[in-house]
Structure 1
């Protein structure tokens, strides 16, 4: 009997031949070392253990496929499935290294698409809150972008694109957290740099309206009226109904500045001097 070997977004398991129920786990592991079996049987047993969420045993069986049948297509598939079993067991470092091992040995293999996605998903699942270091978030971003770039029409690219939006929002949130701290501590130039990063790199995220408002606050504190007016006008043009614009409008009009009196061409010219590419 030949099982289906197509890999879906995370896994489609197949019907499996179960091992004898009365065997202890230790005996089963000893059996792996000494009993040669058909490759389909080993692979089916491994996927059966995956169904039962016994990821350690599944890994042993997938490894045994590689050991007993190293040149078969099943061995190649088992490498990726071993990485997936580690992922399911939340051993992300092992999942990443396993997928990278597959890609090093079979860069053009039929499972390469899934291996790239598995690396990205492993990084993505380790993302922490914005109060912590975002190095893993940046690695997730790079890996997700790699999936989209390499396999733009795949199901993995579609899922990676959704995850990328979440990653960008996370990274923008980190910039906002740091920028607010600088603002509270009267370190205006450092605050401006953080808020500009949000507007330049993460302008499609939910943090953009606040970032523009915080720029208005910082520029007014620095006495940079033209910059504050250009940013406030941009905020009003793009987010006219937002609370952030209402707050910026009050700040600007209290200084005798009217963001709504600025025509589009003047606004864009001023903004280009502050934020290249800004609209």
Structure 2
């Protein structure tokens, strides 16, 4: 009997060890299950599920959430069924969130990667819009007169990009709006030319003023500034003493715009811009370098 005692004790030790091992395995399995069940809900979503979540965010005008969700979709399913449409939706979401630089970059990337996509015209359209918006300062967004006096390069670039859209996709659903925007942009560029011409008059640079006026007349037909361009030519040529050129320009002005403000009882009145010298404090402080 005493001989069997150690054997029984050993069996009990082995059984206890096995039991402890089994408990450890069960604990590890339970922790793994908890960890798996603790995943964020969107990590288990399918490609369609993530896309639908992004569309819901756009519908709710939560564009920052939409951008985040679309980025997750692109990272997880870069060649998925919804990848191309998601890129187009990204352009829209970034534009609405005023993330203009990224919106333009996304549009350019889509055009480069999917030139034959049936909706690539939208990317061209949004590229042009973001180009123009990027050229506007905070003041220019709300005050049209300020806008017309700023650098016209973004407006010109946007105009060219809208023209490219119409050339490539004349039947696009965005073509009509693009044409209206081009009319507006062309008018703003012409108005900028008039502002510059008046600046030259103020600085007694009459040849430069006449050239700006002629540029409006020759290259911006159909805008509201053609009459001012003609008037600028009359005034600048008069101040230069070039009577023949002044008379020719005046004849055209009278024939086409008899109601122009500088025509009084059929006679041309100088605007007086050449007598003005509205120098800003910045102009004085920088000795004429900044105006």
Task: With the length of structure 1 as denominator, give the TM-score of the two structures.
Answer: 0.74
Greater CA drift, 35-44 or 230-239: 35-44
Q: Which residue of 1 aligns with 2:85?
A: 77
Q: Which residue of 2 aligns with 1:269?
A: none
Q: Which residue of 2 aligns with 1:98?
A: 106
Deviation at 1:180, TM superposition (A): 0.1
Q: Which residue of 1 aligns with 2:54?
A: 46
Counterpart pick for 2:72 among 57, 64, 85: 64
Deviation at 1:34, TM superposition (A): 7.4
Q: How has the CA–CA distance of structure 1 residues 246 and 151 changed in structure 2, closer, same or farther, with 3 Å as cutoff?
A: farther
What CA distance in whole angstroms lies between the structure 2 residues aligned with 1:57 and 1:177?
43
Q: Which residue of 1 aligns with 2:267?
A: 249
Q: Which residue of 1 aligns with 2:255?
A: 237
Larger Rg: 2
| Alignment check: 8 A CA contact 2:263 2:269 kept | no
Q: How has the CA–CA distance of structure 1 residues 100 and 225 changed in structure 2, closer, same or farther, with 3 Å as cutoff?
A: same
Counterpart pick for 2:243 among 225, 236, 247: 225
What CA distance in whole angstroms lies between the structure 2 residues aligned with 1:31 and 1:177?
62
| Alignment check: 8 A CA contact 2:262 2:268 kept | no
Q: Deviations over 1:70-99 (max 9, x none)?
A: 223410011111121110011111100001
Greater CA drift, 180-189 or 126-135: 126-135
What CA distance in whole angstroms lies between the structure 1 residues aligned with 2:218 and 2:102?
35
Counterpart pick for 1:182 among 200, 205, 213: 200
Deviation at 1:131, TM superposition (A): 2.5
Q: Which residue of 1 aligns with 2:16?
A: none
What CA distance in whole angstroms lies between the structure 2 residues aligned with 1:214 and 1:106?
48
Q: How has the CA–CA distance of structure 1 residues 176 and 234 changed in structure 2, closer, same or farther, with 3 Å as cutoff?
A: same
Q: Which residue of 2 aligns with 1:113?
A: 121
| Alignment check: 8 A CA contact 1:66 1:75 kept | yes
Unaligned runs of 5+ in 2: 1-37, 137-146, 271-291
What CA distance in whole angstroms lies between the structure 2 residues aligned with 1:152 and 1:84?
22
Q: Which residue of 2 aligns with 1:146?
A: 164
